[in-house]
């Protein structure tokens, strides 16, 4: 696959900014519009752009599959930790009368895990398609 030099140069410039924007969307998901799913899609777009820069680079798909499974298990454990503290499954594990600033720790962590999981899933989808098209 041969890409044009202008597109490659613009991709090199834009790549770190797209990564930064994706992490910004994920981490500020509880303050501004955005969140895990949207930020994960933006991170996957950054990796898709890196296919323009290095077309022949082969990624280890088995490692990504393993990583996605483990992150999903971490999300399940993190979400069901409220069974021990509150007695209800799938809510925040902090008590209801905690300080509001402390409560956002749960939201930021869960947003980060969901963002990583969604971005790995989308990377796997188009990496499989690109491998298939070769």
Partner 1 sequence: MIKKSMLILMLFILLIIFINISFHAINNIDTSSKDYYLYNTYSDTGSKNIVTGIYLDYRLFDSIFEASILIIAVSGIIFMSKKDDEVL
Label each residue of the chain as H, E or C.
Answer: CCCCHHHHHHHHHHHHHHHHHHHHHHHCCCCCCCCHHHHHHHHHHHHHHHHHHCCCCCCCHHHHHHHHHHHHHHHHHHHCCHHHHCCCCCCCCCCCCCCHHHHHHHHHHHHHHHHHHHHHHHHHHHHHHHHHHC
Convert residues 30-69 into a mask of x (bound to partner 1 by CB under 8 A) and - (unbound): xxxxxxxx-----------------------x---x--xx
Smallest distance, Å, CB 79 to partner 1? 6
| Near partner 1 by CB under 8 A: residue from 25, 29, 43, 52 | 29
Interaction pattern, residues 75-114, with partner 1; x per rule: CB under 8 A: xx--x---------xxxx---x---xxxxx-xx--xx--x
Under the rule (CB under 8 A), what is the footprint of partner 1? Answer: 29-37, 61, 65, 68-69, 72, 75-76, 79, 89-92, 96, 100-104, 106-107, 110-111, 114, 117-118, 121, 124-125, 128-129, 131-132
């Amino acid at each position: 696959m041969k890409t044009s030099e202008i597109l490659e140069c613009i991709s090199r410039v834009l790549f770190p900014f797209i990564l930064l924007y994706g992490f910004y969307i994920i981490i500020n998901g509880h303050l501004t519009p955005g969140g895990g799913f949207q930020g994960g899609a933006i991170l996957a777009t950054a990796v898709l752009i890196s296919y323009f820069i290095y077309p022949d680079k082969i990624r280890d798909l088995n490692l990504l599959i393993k990583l996605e499974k483990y992150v999903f298990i971490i999300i399940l454990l993190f979400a069901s930790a409220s069974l021990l503290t509150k007695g209800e499954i799938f809510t925040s594990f902090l008590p209801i009368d905690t300080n509001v600033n402390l409560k956002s720790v749960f939201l930021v962590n869960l947003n980060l895990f969901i963002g990583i999981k969604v971005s790995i899933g989308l990377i796997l989808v188009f990496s499989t398609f690109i491998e298939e098209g070769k």
